[in-house]
């Protein structure tokens, strides 16, 4: 019983990161109808930037978090410059290849600059894990879950109450109509990409103390975030977040209870079966879709 | 009219020159390293051609070509090493096994389109690689699978690069001929109809689901064939040879060589993406 609780806690922690990656996919997809297959690589890159700030430059982690968000926004701007041409062409395959290529280049660059190995990252607050009904909760898990909730609430509030957020939604839902009321749709696409990379960077910084920073973890995160998003139902932000959490829980429970070596194979096989029944995702109604 | 006849003539001459070049290449340049690269190009070209028919003609994206390639390689290797079976039998079994796997995956994949299809096929790669890594007794796991025998037909052993070159290229040319006819003929037109408008294709009497499944199986058969050739050629295979990265490289090959170029674009892309890392590697050393 306490074993299961332990798996649920670690599943929820990693699920929070998948949820953030999946939300990044969702925001870009809403704005541009494409998927950014470099998303996971951006997560790892954000973790490494945070490592340099916190460990090398000895900046307080709260300040580092803000700096990482700013860097994420800037990175999103550069991403937009690179993929603008393929975006205009509208060919799905070209964009998939282009973002995969960006991911590969970025990954090789940071493996060269930082380290080929995973680098240890100190937890945000030191201290023993907290016992809970026979299981233990690492302090970093609390940070990850808490910060994820905070980030998600901020994103929701941004989309609901700020003029930019509402303009972004309008531009995503109907670019033509949005243009006719004076919304700069291209600028909104830039905002979406910037927001998505900023989310990825924050996710990378939060998870780094648990999984370590750097290493060739990017493509794996991309695949899982993407699958988690589709599991929930891309096109609906709540569904995407639930998909991320559910995927994390499934992976963790399968890994602990059945086989840690085959956890991905089993989880993915299970998901393929789910997709056979609910191709649009678990948490969207049939007509809603994307 | 005259110009189109001339064009056809030019094409025929180009093809003949190309085939002649391939035929005499090992005699002109018997450097083992160069032959090794040309053999790898042919193996990739077979996969790229399969993807080009699947994606360029029929419009179905697939990220799991490397799985069929790997399935062929592992089935061939396992039968050869564990059961000591003859090359021809391993070769045939590899093709059948990869085709069967493609049929099973295809049954799921035909339900999806676009990005969703990309995701489903991508998940297949992750599952395949993990099973290969974990099934230690059968596949050697992360250490790889060594000791696969050189192909042997009767008393004749393909044990040198030159012999293997002719084996691989004769098969590649047969497949190119086959693929070319397929794309130019009725099947090609039906697949183009499926790509352009599935609903409309119904009205022409084309069943898009059946055609999608067929072309998926075709990509599996091509992958299995090239995979078996690769396993017997390199005699050592590892799970990295068939990772997602390989699938993506194959996709890049047809994007660089040109989609909808029928079967030739994949060959150019395969050549470029096999040679480029070698050249660039030499450049960095220099």
Question: What are the sequence ranges of the domains in chain A?
Answer: 2-277
Checking if the pLDDT of A288 tops 70, the result is no
- Could you give the CA distance from residue A227 to residue A234 in angstroms, rounded to a whole number? 10
Whether B14 maps to a domain, the answer reads no
CA angle A116, A122, A124 (to 5 degrees): 135
pLDDT band at residue A114 using 50, 70 and 90 as cut-offs: confident
Cα separation, A249 vs A270, in Å, equals: 13
The three state secondary structure string of chain A is CHHHHHHHHHHHHHHHHHHHHHHHHHHHHHHHCCCCCCHHHHHHHHHHHHHHHHHHCCCCHHHHHHHHHHHHHHHHHHHHHHHHHHHHHCCHHHHHHHHHHHHHHHHHHHHHHCCCCCECCCCCCCCCCEEECCEEECHHHHHHHHHHHHHHHHHHHHHHHCHHHHHHHHHHHCHHHHHHCCCCHHHHHHHHHHHHHHHHHHHHHHHHHHHCECCCCHHHHHHHHHHHHHHHCCCCHHHHHHHHHHHHHHHHHHHHHCCCCCHHHHHHHHHHHHHHHCCCCCCCCCCCCC
Residues of A in contact with B118 (CB under 8 A): 96
Nearest-angstrom CA–CA distance, B256 and A250: 39
More confident residue, B36 or A34: B36
Higher pLDDT, B48 or A29: B48
Chain A closest-CA separation from residue B49 CA (Å): 17
- Assign residue A123 a region (left: φ > 0; alpha: ψ between -120 and 50; beta: otherwise): beta
Lowest-confidence pick of A255-269, B34-48, B86-100: A255-269
Radius of gyration of chain B measured on its C-alpha atoms: 19
- pLDDT classification of A104: cutoffs 50, 70, 90: confident
State the best of B121, B247, B248 to mutate against chain A, taking most chain A CBs within 10 Å.
B248
pLDDT at B91: 92
From chain A, the residues in CB contact with B55 under 8 A are 93
Query: What ipTM does the predicted assembly reach?
Result: 0.78
Answer whether residue B21 is part of any domain.
Answer: no
Rounded average pLDDT over B88-114: 90
- CB-CB under 8 Å, A269 with B251: no
Q: Is the dihedral of CA B272, B273, B274, B276 positive or negative?
A: positive
pLDDT band at A1 (very low <50, low <70, confident <90, very high): low
The model carries a pTM of 0.85
Closest B-chain CA to A93: B61
Which residues have C-beta within 8 Å of that of residue B246, sequence separation ≥ 6?
B65, B66, B69
Distance CA A69, CA A50 (A): 10
Q: Which residues of B143-179 are buried (b: 16+ CB within 10 A; e: fewer)?
A: eebeebbebeeeeeebeebeebbebbbebbeebbeeb
**pLDDT: is B154 or B214 the higher one?**
B214
Tell me the chain B residues in contact with residue A251 when contact means C-beta distances shorter than 8 Å. Answer: none
B235 found inside a domain: yes
Question: Residue A290: what pLDDT?
Answer: 41
pLDDT at residue B286, as a whole number = 59
Q: How confident is the model at residue B221 (pLDDT cuts 50, 70, 90)?
A: very high
The mean pLDDT of B13-18, rounded to a whole number, is 81
Question: In angstroms, rounded to a whole number, what is the distance separating the alpha carbons of residues A22 and A228?
Answer: 6
Average pLDDT over every residue of B103-116: 84
- How high is the pLDDT of residue A131? 74
pLDDT the model gives residue B101? 94
pLDDT above 70: residue A287: no
User: Is residue B68's pLDDT more than 90?
Assistant: yes
Tell which phi-psi region holds residue B141, choosing left (phi > 0), alpha (psi between -120 and 50) or beta.
Answer: left
In terms of CA atoms, which chain B residue is nearest residue A265?
B127
Minimal-distance CA residue of chain A relative to B56: A93
What is the predicted pLDDT for the residue at B2? 54
Mean pLDDT taken over chain A: 83
Nearest to A268 among B112, B123, B244 (CB): B123
Q: Which helix (H) or strand (E) holds B93?
A: helix B87-109
Q: Is residue B113 part of a domain?
A: yes
* Averaged pLDDT, B268-272: 88
Domain annotation covers residue B17: no
Contact B228, B94 (CB under 8 A): yes
Distances (CA, A) of A193 to A78, A196, A233: 9, 5, 20
Point out the least confidently predicted range of A79-83, A92-96, A197-201, A266-270.
Answer: A92-96
At residue B138, the pLDDT reads 85
Q: Which of B226, B217, B211, B229 is nearest to B100 (CA)?
A: B217
Q: Per-residue pLDDT for B3 more than 70?
A: no
pLDDT attached to residue B48: 92
Average pLDDT value for residue range B187-207: 86
**Does B136 have pLDDT greater than 70?**
yes
Spatial contact of A59 and A284, defined as CB atoms under 8 Å apart = no
CA distances in angstroms from B141 to A237, A255, B136, listed in the order given = 39, 18, 4
% of chain A with per-residue pLDDT over 70: 96
Q: Which of A130-134, A151-155, B32-36 has the lowest mean pLDDT?
A: A130-134
pLDDT band at A38 (very low <50, low <70, confident <90, very high): confident
| Least confident window among A20-24, A240-244, B16-20 | B16-20
* B119–A226 C-beta distance less than 8 A: yes
Residue B97 binned pLDDT confidence (cut-offs 50, 70, 90) = very high
Q: What is the mean pLDDT of residues B133-154?
A: 84
Question: Averaged over A161-185, what is the pLDDT?
Answer: 85
Q: Are B208 and B113 in contact (CB under 8 A)?
A: no
Range of the domain at B84: 38-276
Q: Residue B133: inside a domain, yes or no? A: yes
Average pLDDT score over residue span A117-140: 76
Identify which has the larger pLDDT, B23 or B105.
B105
Question: By C-alpha distance, which of A205, A229, A198, A211 is closest to A75?
Answer: A198
| Cβ proximity of B205 and B51 under 8 Å | no
Whether residue B261 lies inside any domain: the answer is: yes
Give the pLDDT score at B224.
95
pLDDT value at residue A289: 42
- Using a CB-CB distance cutoff of 8 angstroms, which residues of chain A are in contact with residue B243? none
Looking at the domain covering A2-277, what would its CATH class be? mainly alpha
Is the confidence at residue B228, as pLDDT, over 90?
yes
pLDDT at B73 over 80: yes
The shortest CB-CB distance from B122 to any of A101, A223, A264 is to: A223
Q: What is the pLDDT of residue B72?
A: 94
The answer to whether residue B97 sits within a structural domain is: yes
Q: What is the mean pLDDT of residues A154-160?
A: 86
Q: How many domains does chain B have?
A: 1
| Contact yes or no for B131 and A265 at CB 8 A | yes
Give the mean model confidence (pLDDT) for residues A59-82: 86
């Amino acid at each position: 019983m306490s074993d299961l609780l332990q798996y649920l806690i670690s599943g929820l922690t990693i699920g929070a990161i998948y949820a953030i990656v999946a939300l990044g996919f969702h925001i870009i997809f809403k704005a541009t109808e494409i998927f950014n297959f470099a998303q996971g690589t951006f997560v790892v890159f954000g973790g490494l930037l945070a490592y340099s700030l916190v460990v090398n430059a000895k900046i307080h982690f709260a300040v580092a978090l803000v700096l990482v968000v700013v860097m994420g926004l800037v990175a999103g701007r550069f991403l937009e410059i690179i993929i603008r041409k393929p975006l205009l062409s509208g060919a799905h395959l070209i964009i998939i290849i282009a973002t995969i290529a960006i991911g590969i280049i970025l990954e090789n660059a940071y493996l060269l600059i930082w380290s080929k190995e995973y680098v240890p990252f100190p937890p945000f607050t030191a201290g023993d894990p907290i016992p809970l009904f026979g299981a233990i909760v690492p302090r970093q898990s609390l940070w990850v879950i808490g910060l994820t909730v905070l980030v998600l609430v901020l994103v929701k509030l941004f989309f609901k109450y700020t003029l930019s957020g509402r303009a972004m939604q309008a531009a995503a839902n109907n670019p033509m109509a949005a243009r006719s009321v004076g919304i700069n749709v291209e600028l909104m696409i830039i905002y979406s990409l910037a927001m998505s990379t900023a989310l990825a960077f924050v996710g990378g910084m939060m998870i780094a103390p648990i999984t370590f920073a750097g290493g060739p973890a990017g493509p794996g995160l991309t695949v899982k975030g993407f699958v988690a998003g589709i599991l929930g139902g891309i096109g609906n932000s709540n569904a995407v977040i639930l998909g991320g959490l559910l995927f994390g829980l499934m992976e963790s429970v399968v890994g602990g209870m059945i086989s840690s070596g085959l956890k991905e194979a089993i989880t993915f096989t299970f998901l393929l079966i789910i997709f056979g029944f609910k191709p649009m995702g678990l948490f969207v109604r049939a007509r809603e879709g994307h | 009219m005259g110009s189109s006849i001339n064009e056809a003539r030019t094409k025929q001459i180009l093809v003949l020159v190309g085939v002649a070049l391939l035929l005499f290449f090992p005699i002109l340049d018997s450097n083992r390293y160069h032959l090794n690269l040309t053999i790898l190009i042919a193996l990739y070209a077979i996969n790229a051609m399969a993807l080009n028919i699947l994606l360029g003609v029929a419009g179905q994206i697939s990220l799991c070509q490397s799985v069929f390639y790997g399935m062929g390689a592992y089935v061939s290797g396992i039968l050869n090493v564990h059961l000591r079976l003859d090359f021809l039998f391993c070769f045939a079994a590899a093709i059948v096994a990869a085709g069967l796997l493609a049929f099973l995956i295809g049954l799921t994949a035909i339900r999806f389109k676009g990005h969703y299809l990309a995701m489903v096929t991508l998940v297949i790669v992750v599952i395949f690689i993990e099973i290969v890594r974990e099934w230690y007794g059968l596949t050697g796991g992360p250490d790889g699978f060594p000791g696969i025998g050189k192909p042997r037909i009767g008393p004749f052993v393909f044990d040198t690069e030159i012999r293997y070159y002719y084996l691989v290229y004769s098969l590649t040319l047969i497949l190119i001929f086959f693929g070319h006819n397929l794309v130019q003929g009725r099947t090609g037109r039906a697949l183009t109809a499926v790509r352009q408008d599935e609903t409309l294709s119904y009205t022409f009497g084309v069943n898009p689901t059946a055609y999608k499944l067929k072309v998926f199986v075709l990509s599996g058969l091509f992958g299995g064939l090239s995979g078996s050739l690769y396993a017997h050629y390199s005699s050592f295979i590892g799970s990295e040879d068939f990772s997602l990265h390989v699938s993506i490289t194959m996709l890049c090959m047809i994007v660089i060589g040109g989609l909808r170029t029928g079967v030739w674009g994949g060959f150019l892309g395969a050549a470029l993406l096999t040679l480029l890392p070698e050249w660039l590697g030499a450049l960095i050393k220099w």
